């Protein structure tokens, strides 16, 4: 049962990768951003599990710099971005950007510089881990490059600031096409476009126009449009009403976190960013948790499940299935769980339990 649910969500639901590998023994170089706070600890868990599972990955590690790189206007170095472009696949731990300090967001830098246009986040119930909802199984697809997160802000006059929301036909068509192709390729029945076009008639209106245009090419997929506030209410009342949700940037940020709350939180939620040319950057979407950093208390599940999506992208399905089953069985067994899952296990103990289940 556990295997079937995760295979349905993490396995076949990801689009196949044009960069396929003919043999599991072929060494694959992938970029690893351990990140900040608890990032290095949970990244170490991934490396240990991969080693135990004999995954043919060679990690090329890059850390956040201590000074702003003028080429990226952030603490991410140009060399780290070139690593992802060269390897075309990577895994990222949590990265913290100081709030209100004038620094370019690290995550925004990655999305913009690498043109990671779609964030795909599965939301599914984990067998053996009880939440308020059973059998949740939906996908959020978030446009990742523009909207309110375009980073275009300025002061009009003293005491008045302005932030620009950018919606383009090109980006909207691209993410809509991805969502519908995703749904068709993997047996999903419905795509819901989330919007606020009743208020933002020009911007969200253009987004919906593009979604409708793409929907006409997929008559076998049901298409609907849902206002963002109504969507939030419907998700909390009955998540089964939704299948694939596609939306602009800010709405996707909010809705995907709401969906994570339905199934236990961000610590259990995988994520993968898709870029043009076959680039995929899987990531843990939770914060860097500096309060528990270095205390061996962090839950590595989100980064581990995200690494499974990376393996699926690389067509290493046997390795991915072995690891995801070990994760799920460890959580379902209940003997080793970190504090956020209601247990008392250390990060290293939880990691060892997963390895023992391989």
Q: Is 30 among the domain residues?
A: yes
State whether 143 and 184 are in the same domain: yes
Regarding whether 279 and 247 lie in a shared domain, the answer is: no
| pLDDT confidence of residue 99 | 61
- Is 255 in the same domain as 269? no
How confident is the prediction for the chain on average, in pLDDT?
Answer: 90
| Residue 333 in domain | yes
Q: Does 277 lie in the same domain as 240?
A: no
Q: Provide the percentage of residues in the chain whose pLDDT is more than 90.
A: 78
Of 263, 292, 307, at which residue does a domain stop?
263
- Residues 180 and 254 occupy one common structural domain: yes
**pLDDT digit string, tens, across residues 220-247:** 999 999 999 999 999 999 999 999 999 9
The verdict on 55 and 170 lying in the same domain is: no
**Residue ending a domain, choose from 214, 232, 263:** 263
- Enumerate the H helices of the chain as residue ranges: 2-6, 39-52, 78-87, 106-114, 169-185, 203-215, 228-237, 249-262, 301-313, 317-333, 347-356
Which domain covers residue 39, as residue numbers?
26-97+106-120+265-357
pLDDT(23) > 60: no
- pLDDT of res. 128: 86
Say whether pLDDT at 136 is over 70.
yes
Consecutive H or E run containing 141: strand 137-143
pLDDT of 71-89, one tens digit each? 877 778 889 999 999 999 9
User: 270 and 258, same structural domain?
Assistant: no
For residues 45-79, one letter each, b for 16 or more C-beta atoms within 10 angstroms of the residue's C-beta and e for the rest, the string is bbbbbbebbebebebeebbbeeeebeebebbbbee
Token pair belonging to 158: 């003293």
Which pLDDT does position 104 carry in this prediction? 67
Q: What is the pLDDT of residues 162-196, one digit of tens each?
A: 999 999 999 999 999 999 999 998 899 999 999 99
The tens digit of pLDDT for each residue in 297-349 reads 999 999 999 999 999 999 999 999 999 999 999 999 999 999 999 999 999 99
Q: Would you say residue 21 lies in a domain?
A: no
**Is 140 in the same domain as 233?**
yes
Considering the domain architecture, whether residues 257 and 142 belong to the same structural domain is answered as yes
Question: 6 in a domain, yes or no?
Answer: no
Coil, strand or helix: which one is 117? strand
pTM for this prediction: 0.88
Q: Judge whether residue 18 has pLDDT over 70.
A: no
Q: Is the pLDDT of residue 3 over 50?
A: no
* Predicted confidence (pLDDT) at residue 14 exceeds the cutoff of 70: no
Q: Is the pLDDT at 7 greater than 50, yes or no?
A: no
CATH number assigned to the domain comprising residue 329:
3.40.718.10
Are 251 and 136 part of one and the same domain?
yes
The domain boundary, picked from 228, 243, 263, lies at 263
Residue 350 shares a structural domain with residue 273: yes
Q: Is residue 9 part of a domain?
A: no
Q: What angle do CA 17, 271, 337 make, to 5 degrees?
A: 125
Structural domains in the chain (count): 2
Residues 69 and 116 in one domain: yes
- pLDDT for position 8: 46
User: For residue 60, is pLDDT > 80?
Assistant: yes
pLDDT of residue 16: 46
């Amino acid at each position: 049962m556990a295997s079937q649910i995760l295979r349905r969500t993490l396995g076949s639901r990801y689009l196949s990768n044009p960069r396929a590998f003919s043999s599991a023994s072929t060494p694959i170089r992938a970029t690893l951003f351990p990140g900040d706070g608890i990032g290095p600890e949970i990244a170490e868990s991934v490396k240990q599990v991969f080693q135990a599972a004999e995954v043919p990955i060679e990690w090329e590690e890059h850390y956040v710099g201590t000074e702003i790189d003028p080429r990226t206007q952030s603490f991410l170095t140009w060399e780290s971005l070139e690593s992802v472009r060269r390897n075309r696949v990577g895994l990222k731990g949590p990265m913290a950007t100081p709030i209100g300090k004038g620094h370019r967001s690290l995550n925004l830098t990655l999305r913009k510089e690498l043109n990671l246009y779609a964030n795909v986040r599965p939301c599914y119930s984990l067998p053996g881990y009880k939440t308020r909802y059973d059998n949740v199984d939906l996908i959020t697809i978030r446009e990742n490059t523009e909207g309110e997160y375009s980073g275009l802000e300025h002061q009009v006059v003293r005491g008045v600031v302005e932030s620009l929301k950018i919606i383009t036909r090109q980006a909207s068509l691209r993410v809509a096409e991805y969502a519908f192709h995703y749904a068709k390729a993997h047996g999903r029945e419905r795509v819901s476009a989330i919007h606020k076009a009743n208020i933002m008639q020009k911007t969200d209106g253009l987004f919906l126009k593009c979604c409708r245009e793409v929907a006409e090419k997929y008559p076998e997929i049901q298409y609907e449009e849902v206002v963002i506030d109504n969507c939030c209410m419907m998700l909390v009342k009955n998540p089964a009403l939704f299948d694939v949700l596609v939306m602009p940037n800010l709405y996707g940020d909010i809705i995907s976190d709401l969906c994570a709350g339905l199934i236990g939180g961000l610590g259990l939620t995988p994520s993968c960013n898709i870029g043009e040319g076959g680039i995929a950057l899987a990531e843990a979407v939770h914060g860097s948790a500096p309060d528990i950093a270095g205390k061996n208390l962090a839950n590595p599940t989100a980064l581990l499940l995200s690494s499974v999506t990376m393996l699926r992208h690389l067509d290493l399905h046997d390795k991915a299935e072995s690891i995801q089953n070990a994760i799920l069985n460890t959580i379902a067994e209940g003997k080793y769980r970190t504090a956020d899952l209601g247990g008392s296990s250390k990060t290293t103990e939880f990691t060892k339990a997963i390895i023992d289940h391989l």
